[in-house]
Amino acid sequence: MENKNDNSKNNKWKKMSVFLSLVLRHQPDAAGITLDEHGWADVEELIEGFQKTGRPLDLEMLKEIVRTDEKGRYRMSEDGTLIRANQGHSIPVDVELKETKPPKVLYHGTAERFLPSIMAQGLKSMSRLYVHLSGDYETAVKVGKRHGKPVVLSVDTERMTRDGAVFYQSENGVWLTRPVESKYLEVMDRE
């Protein structure tokens, strides 16, 4: 019986986290809130907005979602009155990223079916503000698996930097940059 309750709780939290991601990264109006120019939302307003949609969010649950999110998607202000997504926005916000020198190579995980398009057109940010890159191969494989049969591309960030590209690293370690031309990409050996 406990197992069933645990699964029910996990599913409820997962749904809350998915909705939180939608609100803080793409559609703040889905909870009837606004984000400031840096992507911050007022925590009380957010909780109230969730409750108006029939989602029984409270402060402790919100803190637990932020604390336990395996991808580290969210950040709360020091005083706990504001919250924002670290990256992945499709709406124009400035999450105050600092330009950071990347390692010589970063990685991008994708599905094999997207490879012909990527090798022809490069990596595009699609609906997001930036292209997302991983600092390690294993993370890129996990990302690729979410989209199908995984393939990992190495990104020659050393050459990109020499050519004027700028890189940022979000609070949760994801590397961000503008579109990546295919000349900087190499398909890695597949497992």
Structure tokens at 127: 């609906």
Helices (H), the chain: 2-25, 43-52, 59-68, 115-121, 137-145, 157-162
Q: Which residue do the tokens 């969730």 mark?
A: 50
Q: Which residue do the tokens 């907005």 mark?
A: 49
Sequence-separated (6 or more) residues with CB below 8 Å from residue 154: 105, 106, 107, 185, 186, 188
pLDDT of amino acid 89: 87
Asked whether this chain's domains 2-85 and 105-187 adopt the same fold, the reply is no
Sequence-separated (6 or more) residues with CB below 8 Å from residue 10: none
pLDDT of amino acid 21: 92
pLDDT of amino acid 6: 58
pLDDT of amino acid 181: 97
Domain boundaries, the chain: 2-85, 105-187
Query: What is the CATH number that goes with domain 2-85?
Result: 1.10.10.970
Overall pTM surpassing 0.75 (yes/no):
no
pLDDT by residue, tens only, the chain of 191 residues: 445 555 666 677 788 888 999 999 999 999 999 999 999 999 999 999 999 999 989 999 999 999 988 888 899 999 999 999 988 888 888 878 889 999 999 999 999 999 999 999 999 988 778 899 999 999 999 999 988 999 999 999 999 999 999 999 988 889 999 999 999 999 996 54
- Name the 3-class secondary structure at 132: strand
Query: What is the CATH number that goes with domain 105-187?
Result: 3.20.170.30
